[in-house]
Amino acid sequence: MSSSCAFCSGTFSPDELLSLDGASSPVCPACYELAEPSTDAASLTVGPIQRADLELVLAWRNNPVIYEHFAEQDGPIQWADHVDWFESRPPTRRDYVASYDGRRIGVVAVDASDFVSIYIAELTLWGEGLATRLLDWLTTRFHSMRDLQAEIHANNERSQRLFERCGFERTNREDDWYVYAYVGDSQ
């Protein structure tokens, strides 16, 4: 008999899953690690994106500093389009909201085609290593189930370094976009 993680829907034996406060079902160890609030005041946590997060996530997505490196967005989006995106996501897509020190700060996701995306929307936290921790969490959680990839704009050197530091290797270039594949922690 197997059970699914409440966050990532991975399949595990029941004795591998852990109970998480506020979750309706148990979660796997990797999801538990970043989802369980810590006693550390400056903890980093993640949880599946919820309808209550949509207004804030829309504000983030409409910030030109954030969307300038998005492959499928080149300007602000409307509320109705944002809600439609949320409601029509395929079941294999995983979107998580990250929180740091008790406040929501960004998003990490893996889409239905196994492409990873991440952004820290709280610009004052750039350079603090939070994106590295989130991407490491995501790769730890999903690499055995999915062939993780990323598409990064050629002028987004910060993201290129992040993904390379977290075990991704550049495999291809398509116009102004580099394609990266997760090869693991080879460094």
> Which tens digits make up the pLDDT trace of 10-59?
667 777 777 765 555 677 766 666 555 444 446 888 889 999 999 999 99
HSE-CB for 145 with a 13 A CA cutoff: 19
Q: What is the mean pLDDT of residues 70-79?
A: 92
The answer, yes or no, to whether residue 177 has pLDDT greater than 80, is yes
Hunting for tokens 């055995």 — which residue is that? 144
Q: Are residues 56 and 23 in the same domain?
A: no
- Let me know if residue 110 belongs to a domain: yes
Share of the chain above pLDDT 90, in %: 61
Which two structure tokens, joined as six digits, stand for 82?
A: 């944002």
Q: Are residues 111 and 173 in the same domain?
A: yes
In this prediction, residue 39 carries a pLDDT of 41
pTM score of the predicted model: 0.78
- Let me know if residue 106 belongs to a domain: yes
Q: Are residues 29 and 70 in the same domain?
A: no
Instruction: Specify the amino acid at residue 181.
Output: A
Alpha-helical segments (H) within 74-128: 79-87
Confidence of residue 1 (pLDDT cuts 50, 70, 90): confident
Across 10-19, 60-69, 121-130, least confident range? 10-19
Report how far residue 147's alpha carbon sits from residue 169's, in angstroms, rounded to the nearest whole number.
Answer: 13
- Let me know if residue 129 belongs to a domain: yes
Q: Which domain covers residue 20, as residue numbers?
A: 3-34
In this prediction, residue 10 carries a pLDDT of 66
Residues composing the chain: 187
Hunting for tokens 């005041």 — which residue is that? 41
- Let me know if residue 39 belongs to a domain: no
Q: Are residues 131 and 167 in the same domain?
A: yes
- Let me know if residue 187 belongs to a domain: no
DSSP structure string for 122-186: -GGGTTSSHHHHHHHHHHHHHTTTS--EEEEETT-HHHHHHHHHTTEEEEEEETTEEEEEE----
Q: Are residues 17 and 89 in the same domain?
A: no
